[in-house]
A = this chain, B = another copy of it.
């Protein structure tokens, strides 16, 4: 079973927004064994929308569209689909009532524009949008009615609930689906080209039907094995047995599997061990705290974060020695250690980690160029700090330094005694 995903909106073509909707849609479809053969983005333009939907129906069985369902004049998806399928708009009283209730709750009056949102093509099945005012639409089409076009709002949260609650159950009951199985092994500490050489003979011996992909990111390379159109359990077992062979080749470089991020692996380890964490950040500015607290359940171990941006806050909140700051500079081994020790002490956490560096674009010197970051870690056994140059661009430095600090904690949690 094949699908095409189409996003509609000039804001995508001019680069005003990052598209995260198709990521989520592709995952949902994949999990049910549906292969996404193409994604495309077109503007708020009837001819381009029709041509994209037409091509989607040519090359696939399922076309999922997001965007262009808002109440304003630039939103034309509904009218365009209505014309494309030779239908006309009818009023859906239940949807109108729902829209009125949502607006009431926000203290907004129900207007003509909102009433127009309750108009839907007569030929479609309405997909109730519990979290928003634009209903989703399901069209049965193709010459023998065997294909499906689904139109969803572009608001990520609304789209997500509609996919989960309305679209996926219908697709599962409508089509007899084979499975696609992806599993990903997460490695650290080996560059992509070196890794490829080290595992070359394993890769060459992979059985037919298994496909390998390399996904490199800073410090981490993900290896993904995929099997298409298969029995789920049988394919999962085949992939597991290949990963077991790989484990024998690079036993010390595997940090996790599948969607696990390094912070998720640390999160699970801390909860499992009933250990607690506190974070002191200067150059990363809250990015490390954000990564942990974004995960549900973080309150079990995350006690406190301090973004000590000024030297005074390093002294007053974390207890860093002010003379040391003046003598060694805020970006130094001793300050990184004292920050980690300080946040561990004031919070009573088991582990404290700290960053202090020069995120740029200004503030660098010959001795400490932009990108210089010191990382401190304090544990029940003591503390230490290491330095790493983390790049040249502010967002890159913040991203890499956050990732490295969390990796350093992972190394501490998984070290062999």
Contacts and interface: CB of A to CB of B under 8 A. Distances in A.
Interface of A: 10-20, 22-27, 30, 35-44, 48, 52, 70-74, 103, 106, 108-109, 111-114, 131, 133, 155, 157, 180, 182, 184, 191-194, 196-197, 203, 211-216, 224, 226, 278-279, 281, 284-290, 292-294, 296, 298-299, 302-310, 312-313, 316-317, 346-348, 359-363, 391-396, 398
Contact of A303 (B131, B157, B288, B313): B313
A304 B285 CA distance: 9
A39 B304 CA distance: 43
Contact of A317 (B212, B284, B346): B346
B39 A13 contact: yes
Contacts of A396: 157
Contacts of A35: 13
Given A224-B11, A285-B293, A211 B111 contact: no
B15 A18 contact: no
10 contacts: A14-B182, A15-B27, A17-B23, A38-B52, A73-B212, A281-B286, A294-B398, A302-B310, A305-B309, A313-B346
Nearest to A75: B214
Contact of A10 (B106, B226, B279, B287): B226
Given A113-B197, A304-B313, A289 B285 contact: yes
**How many copies of this chain are found per oligomer?**
2
B305 A191 contact: no
B287 A290 contact: yes
Contacts of A37: 13, 42-43, 48
A192 B38 contact: no
Contacts of A10: 211, 213, 226
Contacts of A362: 296
Given A286-B288, A289-B285, A348-B312, A394 B17 contact: no
A312 B303 CA distance: 8
Nearest to A26: B15
Contacts of A74: 211-214
Contacts of A279: 307
A11 B303 contact: no
Given A211-B74, A285-B294, A396-B157, A38 B48 contact: yes
A30 B48 contact: no
Nearest to A105: B389
A305 B286 contact: yes
B224 A395 contact: no
A87 to B, nearest CB: 25
B17 A19 contact: no
Contact of A193 (B15, B16, B111, B213): B111
Contacts of A12: 26, 39
A72 B192 contact: yes
